[in-house]
Amino acid sequence: MLCQRCHERPANVQFTQIINGDKKVYHLCEQCAREAQGDLFGQAAQAFNFDFHQWLGHLMNMESSPGFAVPAASAQRCGNCGMTYQQFTQLGRFGCPKCYDNFAPRLEPLLRRIQSATSHTGKVPLHAGSQVKVRKNLERLRKELQQAVAMEQYERAAQLRDQIRELEQQMDRG
């Protein structure tokens, strides 16, 4: 089926519009769906009722189209909570924390689309192992170092290098 908006690309996102209580379903390509969502806020806003979780599910499905390397059976169901991959694409939500590891191969490309990176650089729980904390701190410092160098803040960069060296030694000591 072709996208009902551009009539060019294949439709792979379902878009629901409700006007005066009348529900209409459109089949759009990913690009048009994104534009239509952008229009929501534009001046000529159409009253699109956008089901975000459904859209997310479709994105996940697209990633698993033929040719994309996904380990077979093992990744079809979360061994911990029993949620199937199919259910996730319908709900747009995982069933348990372990789903993240169990669906990891399909998650990574999705995260690249909806987030700005695929790894966390923020807060670490106090109880997290000290190794985790040191590693996370290292990642953060290395990122700050890159920025400092890019902005030619050499004094700051030198400080950061010292801190990084110290943490690396800490890691080696275990």
Partner 1 sequence: MSLSDFLRRAVSPWMRNGGPEDDIILTSRVRVARNLEDVPFPVLQTDSHANHVIQAVQNALATPAVQALGRFELLRCSDMSAIDRQVLVEKHLISRDLAEQVRHGAVALRDDEVVSIMVNEEDHLRIQCLLPGLRLKEAWDLANQVDDALERTLPYAFHERYGYLTACPTNVGTGIRASVMMHLPGLVLSGQMGRILSAVQQVGLTVRGMYGEGSDAAGNLFQVSNQVTLGESEEEIIQNLSNVVAQLIEHERNARRLLLQQNREGLEDRVCRSFGILAYARRMDSKETLQRLSDVRLGIDLGIIKGVSANILQELMVMTQPAFLQKYYQQDLSPAERDVRRAALIRERLRLDESGVR
Judged by beta carbon distances under 5 to 8 A according to partner kind, the member of Zn ion, partner 1, none in contact with residue 41 is partner 1
Minimum distance of partner 1 from residue 2's CB (angstroms): 27
* Strands, sheet with 22-28, edge to edge from the N-terminal-most edge strand: 22-28, 13-19, 48-49
Q: Is 75 in the site for partner 1 (CB under 8 A)?
A: no
Minimum distance of partner 1 from residue 48's CB (angstroms):
9
Minimum CB distance to partner 1 smaller for 66 or for 174? 174
Which tokens is 33 given? Answer: 């769906």
Determine the Cα–Cα distance for residues 22 and 109; give it in Å rounded to an integer: 35
Cα separation, 160 vs 119, whole angstroms: 21
Q: Which residues here bind partner 1, judged by CB under 8 A?
A: 38, 40-45, 47, 52-53, 56, 81, 83, 91-97, 100-101, 107, 110-111, 114-128, 132, 135-136, 140
Q: Which residues here bind Zn ion, judged by CB under 5 A?
A: 3, 5-6, 9, 29, 32, 78, 80-81, 83, 95-96, 98-99
